[in-house]
Amino acid sequence: MSKIEIKNIYKIFGPQPDQVLSMVQNGAGKEQVMEETNHTVGLDNVSLSIKEGEIFVCMGLSGSGKSTLIRHINRLIDPTSGQVIVDGVDVLSLDKKEILEFRKKTMSMVFQRFGLFPHKTVIENVAYGLEIQEAPEGQRKEIAQGQIDAVGLQGFENQYPAQLSGGMQQRVGLARALATDPQILLMDEAFSALDPLIRSEMQTQLVDLQSKLKKTIVFITHDLDESLKLGDHIGILNGGRLVQVGRPEDIILNPADDYVKAFVKDVNRSKVLRAKTVMTKIDKFDTSGINPSSTYKYDEDTFIEDLIPRVLKDRSTIEVIDKTGSTTGYISSEELSEALTKTK
């Protein structure tokens, strides 16, 4: 079920975007438009569907349009042309009062530079959205404390942002975004300013929180490893155009063009591909030679790198099972070796 539908969005920055629109619609690229009209193409006919409860990652290099795209969802930016639909409602049809209510109740945003109030304590920062919603003070503190606990900042409630590390400040930003219990969480390069180790910890924490909360998350990044770790689906932008959308394994195995190929060429694919990607389906696998004592069951979402020691060292066979415990396929040591050869 789609939570967010973006339909044929064009965004042109400049004094006369409507006059330049037809030029872009007729196929002019970003460089040509800039050279001939001194306008900037932010988005060029972008359409995508984001499912309820998934992490959708938009990635691309600087200037690709990814931050412009996310700001259309909560109407911080209005398109030159196109539609943004959330839960069946055309966001562009909302008046000023309605859009403010929509932002307060439907979504929260986490920014790259934290955006904390320096004069407010941690618990006051986290409770700020609830204050805007005019929730009672006791309720605000209770909810804020719960989110502080959830992101591992117990004991820092009365500290100020300047007293915290960058990673801790970003945890406060995440807790603040979650405190209003938004349906949609928009995260614009949320971890990009962090040191690599802290960044990895925040990514893991987001995945853990998402497994419990099941929010619809739109995450912007320029980092492919981050995209592969977080994304249920990934959309790749180049020059304002959406060049490919797919699951991480789709992006890795079937890059749409040279731009995407350049992104994925150095990826360790054993850390991305899962058992279900390389298995032979149960109805096509010859089970007659299987030794039950050297057959091990693994969930179909297990990463290949976790299978390597068991299969290649012990020459075992993997029985792949789904969430219900039903067998969906098998992986032999020969098949795994072949898959690894293909993905180098």
Least confidently predicted of 23-27, 159-163, 193-197: 193-197
pLDDT greater than 80 at residue 339: no
pLDDT digits (tens, 9 = 90+) for 278-327: 888 888 877 776 777 667 788 888 887 887 776 666 667 888 888 888 88
Phi, psi angles (nearest 5°) of residue 279: -70, 160
Bridge partners, residue 49, by sequence:
5
Q: Which pLDDT score, from 0 to 100, does residue 270 have? A: 74
Percent of the chain past pLDDT 70, that is, above it, reads 94
pLDDT score, position 303: 82
Q: What is the pLDDT of residues 50-82, one digit of tens each?
A: 999 999 999 988 889 999 999 999 999 999 999
Question: Token digits for 318?
Answer: 């993997």
Predicted local confidence at residue 75, as pLDDT: 93
Superfamily the domain 1-87+185-195+215-267 falls into = P-loop containing nucleotide triphosphate hydrolases (3.40.50.300)
Provide the residue ranges of all domains of the chain, joining segments of one domain with +: 1-87+185-195+215-267, 275-342
Query: Which of these ranges, 115-119, 220-224, 337-341, has the smallest mean pLDDT?
Result: 337-341
Candidates 3.40.50.150, 3.40.50.620, 3.40.50.1010, 3.10.580.10; CATH matching 275-342: 3.10.580.10
pLDDT at 244 over 90: yes
The CA distance from 31 to 20, in Å, is 13
Kindly report which listed range (177-181, 287-291, 326-330) carries the lowest average pLDDT score: 287-291
Q: Which of 27-36, 129-138, 289-298, 315-324 has the lowest mean pLDDT?
A: 289-298
Q: What is the pLDDT of residue 78?
A: 95
pLDDT at 344: 47
> Residue 232 has what pLDDT?
92
Q: Lowest-confidence range among 120-124, 165-169, 266-270, 320-324?
A: 266-270
Nearest by Cα to 343 from 259, 272, 263: 272
Greater confidence (43 vs 287) lies with: 43
Whether this prediction's pTM lies above 0.85 is answered by no
Please give the average per-residue pLDDT across 16-44, as a whole number.
Answer: 94
- Burial label for 29, CB within 10 Å (0-12, 13-18, 19+), is middle
What pLDDT is stored for residue 9 in this prediction? 97
Residue 308 is predicted with a pLDDT of 76
Kindly state the average pLDDT of the residues 189-193.
82
- Average pLDDT for residues 164-176, to the nearest whole number? 87
Three-state SS string over the chain comes to CEEEEEEEEEEEECCCHHHHHHHHHCCCCHHHHHHHHCCEEEEEEEEEEEECCCEEEEECCCCCCHHHHHHHHCCCCCCCEEEEEECCEEHHHCCHHHHHHHHHHHEEEECCCCCCCCCCCHHHHHCHHHHHCCCCHHHHHHHHHHHHHHCCCCCCCCCCHHHCCHHHHHHHHHHHHHHCCCCEEEEECCCCCCCHHHHHHHHHHHHHHHHHHCCEEEEEECCHHHHHHHCCEEEEEECCEEEEEECHHHHHHCCCCHHHHHHHCCCCHHHCCEHHHHCEEHHHCCCCCCCHHHEEEEECCCEHHHHHHHHHHHCCEEEEECCCCCEEEEECHHHHHHHHHHCC
- Mean pLDDT, rounded, for 81-88: 95
pLDDT for residue 114 is more than 80: no
Summarised one tens digit per residue, pLDDT across range 152-161 is 889 999 999 9
Q: What pLDDT sits at residue 237?
A: 95
Mean pLDDT computed over 255-277: 83
Burial 175-211 (b: 16+ CB within 10 A, else e): bbbbbbebbbbbbbbbbebbeeebbebbbebbeebbe
Look at residue 40 in the predicted model and tell me its pLDDT.
96
What value does the mean pLDDT of the chain take?
Answer: 87
